[in-house]
Amino acid sequence: MTLTKVVLSERDMPTHWYNINADLPAAGVELPPVLHPITLQPVGPADLAPLFPMALIMQEVSTERYIEIPDEVQELYKLWRPTPLYRAVRWEEALDTPAKIYFKYEGTSPAGSHKPNTAIPQAYYNKQAGVTRLTTETGAGQWGSALSFACQAFGIECKVYMVRVSYDQKPYRRSLMQTWGATVVPSPSPQTAAGRAILAQDPNSSGSLGIAISEAVEEAVTREDTNYSLGSVLNHVLLHQTVVGQEVMKQMELIGADWPDVVIGCVGGGSNFGGFAFPFLRENLVNGRRSRIIAVEPLAAPSITRGVYAYDYGDTAKMAPVAKMHTLGHDFIPAPIHAGGLRYHGMAPQVSAVANAGLIEAQAVPQRAIFEAAMSFTRAEGILPAPEPSHAILAAMNEALACKESGESKTIVFNLCGHGHFDLGSYDAFLQGRLEDYEYPAEAIERSLANLPRV
Amino acid sequence: MTLTKVVLSERDMPTHWYNINADLPAAGVELPPVLHPITLQPVGPADLAPLFPMALIMQEVSTERYIEIPDEVQELYKLWRPTPLYRAVRWEEALDTPAKIYFKYEGTSPAGSHKPNTAIPQAYYNKQAGVTRLTTETGAGQWGSALSFACQAFGIECKVYMVRVSYDQKPYRRSLMQTWGATVVPSPSPQTAAGRAILAQDPNSSGSLGIAISEAVEEAVTREDTNYSLGSVLNHVLLHQTVVGQEVMKQMELIGADWPDVVIGCVGGGSNFGGFAFPFLRENLVNGRRSRIIAVEPLAAPSITRGVYAYDYGDTAKMAPVAKMHTLGHDFIPAPIHAGGLRYHGMAPQVSAVANAGLIEAQAVPQRAIFEAAMSFTRAEGILPAPEPSHAILAAMNEALACKESGESKTIVFNLCGHGHFDLGSYDAFLQGRLEDYEYPAEAIERSLANLPRV
């Protein structure tokens, strides 16, 4: 029974974030400008100033390859970083595969996922800029709890608009945010014009991430003391998450692992995938490596595999900036799959651009199959994955089983971006046979095309 | 913002468990023999053979000071060990105390607590002995999930008798055990004579840990292929947990910390406390150290502070061995506090003996105060503690606040033995003001005295 874990020392933690924008032009990939939601003209830093501190706006548009991580952020990272990398030896045995499977584990953070990697620097830069309140949205609660934790660390007030259906169905996540001192409001709420407009149409609206973003953005725009914070999609968010991929490369080197043939991450808004995969993508682009890099999304919200690559709003009420991205349409509300963190209509512009350029692959997978893969994994390795990373687990399993067929001994690495201790209701539903598969409805494609902004 | 975390390298992990039985005689502490539940005569190894493999029985009675940890167990420990030690700098600031507070964090294990430290070796030794099935009991589910995980790792069947009230109220813990492949039965159940007897008296019995132990023991005794596994109380269980305290001592040395003035652990059955504190107690006994060592128990189940030190049964149906321990009486059912892991009528014989000899202190604390302390802690340090270690947090806070009064800069260390991600319902109740304080009822003392076995 061999078991392999690689823990970096704190000395070996990355001191810089990696910015893929520096390497895209040479690869022939263009990142189109972000547009103002009303004028549909390219936004400048001043347009974003009501939402974000200037340091984050500068990161958003930076083409510097490596951006230094502030000391205070590095110190707080050490609360749970560096995180371990494992070789899944027992799972390899269970799958009877000649493949070598490695996984990074981000579930040891206080919030149980990779989200604090960006919550901490976002709170830090806002604090530096004198901001005393932050608003944000949250679906299942992963991001909201991460930001609540980060705000608490820097003494910033935090207000979270939580999608109504999750607010009612997942009180535990709400309690976690409140325990860390945040104010949590079910969305749509009567506290914003956006919320009131939705409630006027449907007083019983169960909400969506797009609506909650509208409310959080509206409050930040209309209050002087308040900024907005987003947990995915934007360049600076993906930037902060690159500590994950950089650590993995160092850990694989330390353990003498082969260079990965396949790099796999789940993808919803794109921050987990970008943070994990972009350091590897750079090696493909710049240093002649040939890893296949696979983004795995739910069949219920398949923005890369079934959406269009076009300009669209980031939110339902059309208040957030307009970006060119893979989108299912800003008014598309994904089916209630248990991987709440992947229920978003759009996709990070950076991930969309490299997908559009064919530099990465994408797969869409159904819900029941990801729970089956999660069961296979946890019964071998012990760690219980959240439904989101279970998308990556399924893809890794399929690769490993293909190796069994072909006899190849490929090296596969994936990111296990959060534990499933908050998701046992979902496992319970799976064990009792109550889980459904959802497909993105074909008729929604036409609607999404019809409602895109005309740029 | 200084933040201090000490992670040992795997090379520095303990290679042996520490057995306090080796050091008790020189300290004048006698550990009275364990008695057979029917004959009330001292048990020999053969009496325990229907329950445990011989390797564990030998550890139970061993007086060897250091017992080697098998390679296979060390390898599995590495799935999450060594665990981090932190200096709680931000909490010190929040409390405005000159005290230095350190805490060990055991919440990074797959089950979220320290319990796998003994589940893994127990499953290992049973596997070595050719045992293919294990039974156990669980209250809130921490132990049951740890053993499910360990059995899965060694390919052993696992059957868990789960206290009925938890089975109904905490389906998520049940799902975790089932996810890891265990069979979970609500106790009392019709599957055992002990369960049927209880159900005959009260078909709606909500169960207790003592009843669940009776059922699990009965099944192990009556089935050839099945052994029993206990998550606390017994010598070999506390032995396995000493990896925790040994790591802490190494980590404090590495970081150049002062020798602790105060060592604090929560105590229910005694395994967390023993594993954490006994390596420090040895330094008091043998090397002239003078740490105060404090066991913190709930006011609702105050076996050390309010019970008697006497021979009593480990379970309700009087099937488990009889040990001399601090007890509230084997038929006492503690109030439904949220720290389910501390709801036991008895106390580990080793902990009882050193408490009786005045070598450690004990405190009993009420429920609401421990949640207030947990809130103070998590808002400063980010990590969300389970209600059980929040007992230790409250005691540490009180010590730190006393230092503020006296101006002393004491060094305090406590064990944060599990995360609170499974306990958010309890936090929710606290935040909504729905938590009650329970005191051990005075009239129960007389009953406990009346029902003790006459030895």
Mean pLDDT of chain B: 94
Residue of A7, A174, A375 with shortest CB distance to B179: A375
Q: Do A78 and B2 touch (CB under 8 A)?
A: no
How does B300-328 read in b/e, with b if 16+ C-beta sit within 10 Å? bbbbbbbbbbbbbbbbbbbbbbbbbbbbb
For the stretch A222-257, pLDDT in tens is 999 999 999 999 999 999 999 999 999 999 999 999
Q: What is the pLDDT of residues A76-86, one digit of tens each?
A: 999 999 999 99
As a whole-number percent, the residues of chain A with pLDDT over 90 amount to 85
Number of residue pairs across A and B with CB atoms under 8 Å? Answer: 120
Q: Which of A66-75, B46-55, B106-115, B165-174 is the least confident region? A: B165-174
- Taking alpha carbons only, the member of A307, A54, A5 closest to residue B13 is A5
* Among the partner residues B2, B5, B431, nearest to A79 by beta-carbon distance: B5
Contact across the interface for A382 and B153, Cβ inside 8 Å? yes
Contacts of residue B383 in chain A, CB cutoff 8 Å?
A: 79, 110
Q: Residue A73 to residues A298, B87, B378: CA-CA distances in angstroms?
A: 32, 17, 18
For residue A124, pLDDT beyond 80: yes
ipTM: 0.91
pLDDT at B1: 41
For residues A84-93, give the mean pLDDT.
95
pTM over 0.80: yes
- With cut-offs at 50, 70 and 90, classify the pLDDT of residue A168: confident
Cα distances (angstroms) measured from residue B192 to each of B198, B214, B270: 10, 9, 27
Are the beta carbons of A152 and A177 closer than 8 angstroms? no
Residue A95 CA: distances (Å) to CA of A27, A373, B78, B79: 37, 11, 22, 19
- C-alpha distances out from residue B1 to A83, B90, B91, B101, Å: 21, 7, 11, 15
pLDDT digits (tens, 9 = 90+) for A321-368: 999 999 999 988 888 888 888 988 999 999 999 999 999 999 999 999
Phi, psi of A251 (to 5 degrees): -70, -40
Taking an 8 Å cut-off on Cβ atoms, the answer to whether A179 and B378 are in contact is yes
A interface with B, Cβ–Cβ < 8 A, is: 1-3, 5, 7, 9-10, 72, 75-76, 78-79, 86, 90, 108, 110, 112, 149, 152-153, 171-176, 178-181, 375, 378-379, 381-384, 419, 421-422, 424-425, 427-428, 431
Asked if residues B5 and B85 have their Cβ atoms less than 8 Å apart, the reply is: yes
**Each residue of B31-65: b (16+ CB within 10 Å) or e?**
bebbbebeeeeebeeebbeebbbebbbebbbbeee
Half-sphere exposure of B103 (CA within 13 A, CB side): 32
Chain B residues with beta carbon closer than 8 angstroms to that of A416: none
Q: What is the mean pLDDT of residues A270-278?
A: 98
B112 closest CB neighbour out of A149, A176, A421: A421
Contacts of B61 (CB under 8 A, 6+ apart): B45, B235
pLDDT tens by residue, A8-64: 888 899 999 999 999 999 999 999 999 999 999 999 999 999 999 999 999 999 999
Q: Please check whether residue A13 is in contact with residue A81, taking contact to mean a CB–CB distance below 8 angstroms.
A: yes
Whether B384 and A181 lie within 8 Å, measured CB to CB: no
CA distance B428 to chain A (A): 5
Distances (CA, A) of A174 to A165, A180, A183, B309, B377: 12, 10, 9, 44, 19
User: With contacts defined as CB-CB under 8 Å, which chain A residues touch B178?
Assistant: 427, 431
For tokens 């000159």, what's the residue? B98
Per-residue pLDDT at B131 exceeds 70: yes
Least confident of A294-298, B212-216, B227-231, B446-450: B446-450
Please indicate whether, in this complex, the C-beta atoms of B382 and A153 are within 8 angstroms of each other: yes
Please name each of the domains of chain A with its CATH number. Answer: 5-12+70-112+236-449 (3.40.50.1100)
- Beta carbons of A3 and B384 less than 8 Å apart: no
Sheet harboring A226-228: ordered strands across? A183-187, A157-163, A133-138, A226-228
Inter-chain contact B5–A78, Cβ cutoff 8 Å? yes
pLDDT of residue B256: 92
Q: CA-CA distance, B140 to A200, in Å (whole number)? A: 44
Min Cα distance A423 → chain B (Å) is: 8
Q: A382 vs A132, A236, A390, B80, B299, CA distance in Å? A: 41, 33, 14, 10, 35
Which two tokens mark A448? 């999404």
As a whole number, the mean pLDDT across chain A is 94
Taking alpha carbons only, the member of A387, A375, A266 closest to residue A337 is A387
Which stretches of A155-294 are DSSP H helices? Answer: 164-169, 171-179, 193-201, 209-222, 235-254, 271-287
pLDDT for res B414: 98
Looking at beta carbons, which residues of chain B come within 8 Å of A9?
Answer: 7, 9
**pLDDT recorded at residue A1:** 41
Per-residue pLDDT tens digits for A176-214: 999 999 999 999 999 999 999 999 999 999 888 888 999
pLDDT of B374-433, one tens digit each? 999 999 999 999 999 999 999 999 999 999 999 999 999 999 999 999 999 999 999 999
Shortest Cα distance, chain A CAs vs residue B131, angstroms: 18
Distance CA A194, CA B194 (A): 61
What's the N-to-C CA distance of chain A in angstroms? 59
What is the rounded CA–CA span in Å between residue A228 and residue B164? 46
pLDDT reading at A444 higher than 80: no
* Three-state secondary structure call for residue A363: strand
Distance separating alpha carbons of residues A341 and B2, to the nearest angstrom: 32
Report the C-alpha gap between A246 and A242 in whole angstroms. Answer: 6
Residue B363 pLDDT more than 90?
Answer: yes
B179·A76 Cβ contact <8 A: no
